[in-house]
Amino acid sequence: MDLLSMRKIAGLFAVLVALTIGVPAYAQTGGVTGKATERDGSVCAKCPIILERKEIHGVYKTKTNKKGEYVYIGLPFDVYKITLQDPNGKPLYYITKQIPLGDPTEVDFNLPKLMATQKQEEQQEAKSNPELAKQLAAQQQAQAEEKKSEKEFTGLKEFFDQGNALYGQQNYKAAAAAYEKALPFAKEKNLPVVLSRLADAYQKAHENQQALATYQKAIQLSPDDANLHNNLGTVYAGLGKLPEAQTEFYKAAQLDPAGAARYYFNVGAIMYNAGKMDEAAQAFKKVIEGDPKNAQAYYLEGQALMGKVTMTPDGKVVAPEGTVEAFETYLKLEPNGPNAAAARQMIATLKGSVQTQYKKK
């Protein structure tokens, strides 16, 4: 071999070495790039992209940017399941694609187009496959119901939260209007909750007739809810319908024995305000039986019993048995309570009179 030939070979070797050194790093691996579009045509921003190898276990993750674009470089040669998720991690669509070495492979998630193509293919196949047609019909119905439920939940939350905010601002009339808008979206267990909140807002807005009708609707759906009966009783009391109020309070006590003292207290309060001292005293006695440390119940029992004090023709004061004891128990429980001075005055009056007698209640 002559010198000239040797030089040509050496030069060729140098060129090959240079070419080898100059090959980009990603030429020995592959990659993917593309853009993601939601079903409604909007950009799928901040959406996770999950790449799973088929032959050898391996999972790679990336995420779209604000424009819905994504790229991942450095994937080994393989077939990949590429899954697009929504920002909350819910799978939206997947594409199986072989990723070769070299430049990134373009894999777009144009969901409107992909879903339309998939639907056409399924419909075409369903024409010759009755079982598939049945499955697709069931799937479409389930999707429609899911979409309807999502819409209802969104509407319910939006208007219910709005009502709660207005309620917290004591704008009860506007709160009631918001709860009214939430009603069409409320189903099953949510419906009595919204009705109860609506009725409460009506009551606070002094629209008692509206509150009455709304609580009655809520009770039809949840007849064993003690709080609903108690609240309805309060509305009846505000309308001056004491027998109806009393019935609802007693119903609440029956449904919720553990909390009965609270409902009996309401009975005692409306009877006391109506001047019906016998019934008031009996109700407060029931409160005490269920809640023996309820100081206010003792004081009001004493007040109710004082309402039954009489005087004989010869000037003797006749007070029901237990009147003094009720005030004394109140002072024992709350010696510095808001009614302490009045309780002491009552005791002094009753004990200080030699003419005081006691009769059975």
pLDDT in tens, 199-250: 999 999 999 999 999 999 999 999 999 999 999 999 999 999 999 999 999 9
pTM of structure: 0.59
Nearest to 159 by CA among 147, 144, 174: 174
The answer, yes or no, to whether residue 103 has pLDDT greater than 60, is yes
- CA–CA separation, 298 and 288 (whole Å): 7
Joined tokens for residue 206: 């002094």
Predicted pLDDT at 55: 79
Contact 82, 50 (CB under 8 A): yes
pLDDT digits (tens, 9 = 90+) for 259-317: 999 999 999 999 999 999 999 999 999 999 999 999 999 999 999 998 887 777 776 77
- Ranking 89-103, 180-194, 206-220, 252-266 by mean pLDDT, the lowest is 180-194
Give all domains of the chain, ordered by start, each with its CATH number.
28-112 (2.60.40.1120), 152-359 (1.25.40.10)
Nearest to 184 by CA among 213, 156, 162: 156
Nearest to 322 by CA among 359, 278, 273: 359
Q: 10 Å Cβ neighbour count for 30?
A: 22
Mind giving me the DSSP string for 162-184? HHHHHHHTT-HHHHHHHHHHHGG
- CA–CA separation, 94 and 85 (whole Å): 9
